[in-house]
Amino acid sequence: MNDFRDPSGGGASPIARLVDAFHRLPGIGPKIAQRLAYHVLRAPEEEARDLAEALMEVKRSVVLCARCQNVTAENPCRICSDKGRERTIICVVEEPLDVVAIERTGGFHGLYHVLHGVISPADGVGPEDLKIAELLARIRDVDRDVTEVIVATNPNLEGEATSMYLGRLLRPLGIRVTRLARGLPAGADLEYADDVTLGRALEFRQEV
Amino acid sequence: MNDFRDPSGGGASPIARLVDAFHRLPGIGPKIAQRLAYHVLRAPEEEARDLAEALMEVKRSVVLCARCQNVTAENPCRICSDKGRERTIICVVEEPLDVVAIERTGGFHGLYHVLHGVISPADGVGPEDLKIAELLARIRDVDRDVTEVIVATNPNLEGEATSMYLGRLLRPLGIRVTRLARGLPAGADLEYADDVTLGRALEFRQEV
């Protein structure tokens, strides 16, 4: 993305710096970074200012909710302080975006807890690196009515390991620990389903 | 991209505003905007500040070069003021990124002129909306040694129309007007070449 350097005036040109800054974002390659920078050049100044201010504002004002550890500008967050939510059930997710995804289904009305990762020995991530102590503390001190924890980690090796770990940890406290159903995705075609998915759909077959 | 609104605290939350600001960039859909905003949340503050400052700096300091109309922080731009460039030949391009692409080839050592668009009657863009008057003025007043103009517009309807228009305009001034060669791209396979490309490759066949 240094291609902009010559035409625009040397190694430290403002355009090259903007291209570099866009390029550092995940999934933004050098070509897209160039296109974004060029778009900003042509766009109204207020569009650039909106983005610049939103960037600084997010870093200044967004914290982790003291209860659920989700990102929030209010502490506790809107969901934790919403009197209308069921307070007997906590859905544990890996990342804040998973909360967004589950909220979108409209099918869950309890509380959340964001782990900010999964147990992954290969990456050197153990339970102590996640917000698991915070989950225990909150069940013990704040959300004492919780009777069920749904572990909504991703259906992969790390997600399964994390859900098993949480199961062993929480069941002795008298809490029911469940996980998201495994099976065929909506609209799937048996013929093209992968073996693991189809195998699990058989294993976890449900009553009609 | 308003999905972040509930979990993070209402319609005007800092996260929702950042998602919106990213979403306004070209090619950044709501999902990617969410992922970028979430990345910024976790990234070191200086990464967000670098991007925010680069955005403001670019709007503050980048102007169009008075000669070639390319975006630049110095006026005239580095290329226009580079004594080592051939001053008898101008390559006319549609956009600043085209200058980047041609510089990358290392095969052109003349000057540039950026039109900032192409003639496109369907979009209501006429010659007066482009930097064509500036091209004429500069050939007349500043770059008087120019003997050739390469019209490096894109090989499509609008690009061809623009190159024909410039040809009619500049040839009477005694300037040679050329365009980029049409033909098969490097590494192409005849069997899979589209009809128009193959037709042009035949029409503009070159001596071996």
ipTM for the complex?
0.74
Q: What is the pLDDT of residue B6?
A: 42
Report residue A90: phi and psi, to 5°: -120, 130
* Domain C-terminal end among A61, A83, A98: A61
pTM of the model: 0.74
Do B46 and B128 fall into the same domain?
A: no
Do B72 and B172 fall into the same domain?
A: yes
Rounded-to-integer distance, Cα B37 and Cα B156, Å: 37
User: Does residue A64 carry a pLDDT above 60?
Assistant: yes
Rounded-to-integer distance, Cα A36 and Cα A23, Å: 10
- CA nearest to A23 within chain B: B51
Q: Which amino acid is at A117?
A: G
Contact (Cβ atoms closer than 8 angstroms) between residue A110 and residue A88: yes
User: Does residue A207 carry a pLDDT above 90?
Assistant: no
Of A6, A18, A48, the CB nearest to B103: A6
Residue B7 lies in a domain: no
Could you give the number of structural domains in chain B? 2
Name residues of chain B where pLDDT drops below 50.
Answer: 1-10
Do A47 and A143 fall into the same domain?
A: no
Q: Of B1, B3, B5, B15, which to mutate for an interface test with A (greatest number of A Cβ within 10 Å)?
A: B15
- CA nearest to B15 within chain A: A58
* Domain C-terminal end among A39, A61, A83: A61
Residue B30 lies in a domain: yes
Flag if B6 and A57 touch (Cβ within 8 Å): no
Residue whose pair of structure tokens reads 């990464």 in the numeric block: B47
Per-residue model confidence as pLDDT tens digits over A21-45: 999 999 999 999 999 999 999 899 9
Contact (Cβ atoms closer than 8 angstroms) between residue B62 and residue B71: yes
Q: What is the pLDDT of residue B193?
A: 82
User: Does residue A89 carry a pLDDT above 80?
Assistant: yes
For a pLDDT cut of 70, what percent of chain A falls above it?
94
Q: Which amino acid is at A142?
A: V
Do A117 and A200 fall into the same domain?
A: yes
Q: Which of the pair, B180 or A89, is modelled with greater confidence?
A: A89
Residue A125 lies in a domain: yes
Per-residue model confidence as pLDDT tens digits over B84-97: 999 999 999 999 99
Question: CATH no. for residue B196?
Answer: 3.40.1360.10
Do A43 and A107 fall into the same domain?
A: no
Average pLDDT over residues A202-208: 79
Residue-number span of the structural domain to which B21 is assigned: 14-61
Partners of A60 on chain B (C-beta within 8 Å) are 14
Chain centroid to Cα A175, Å, comes to 24
Q: What is the pLDDT of residue A11?
A: 52
Q: What is the pLDDT of residue A3?
A: 45
Q: What is the pLDDT of residue A77?
A: 95
Burial of A167-179, coded b for 16+ CB within 10 Å and e otherwise, reads bebbeeeebebeb
